[in-house]
Amino acid sequence: MTYFGFLARFVVIPLVIMRWLIWRDNQKKKDLPEPLTSWDPEKALIGHSLVALTYTTVWDNYLVATKVWGYDPKLVTGLR
């Protein structure tokens, strides 16, 4: 599996599902419980995505640099 295939399966698809669930709840006028209403669902989804992208990029680069793991050069785009 390529890295883009991994991202599609385990990042993009869950984000699309969560976005669809937010849309569906908005259509049904379904509200979150009171303790969970301090953030707009759209902003919370974007915020979680940005935090995950930030820490996983740093962590992954560190692990590759220290040779804990690596990627098959044939499966990498070559973008740096």
More confident residue, 8 or 66: 66
What does DSSP assign to residue 33?
A: P
**Predicted pLDDT at 53:** 85
Q: Is the predicted pLDDT of residue 2 greater than 80, yes or no? A: no
15/73: higher pLDDT: 15
Query: Alpha carbon of 30 to those of 15, 19, 21, 37: distances in Å?
Result: 20, 15, 11, 12
Structure tokens at 9: 């399966």
Q: What is the pLDDT of residues 26-62, one digit of tens each?
A: 899 888 788 878 888 888 889 988 998 888 888 888 9
> Residue for token digits 């989804």?
45
Q: What pLDDT, in 10s, does the model give residues 3-27?
A: 778 888 988 899 999 999 989 998 9
CA distance 22 to 28: 10
Amino acid sitting at position 72: D
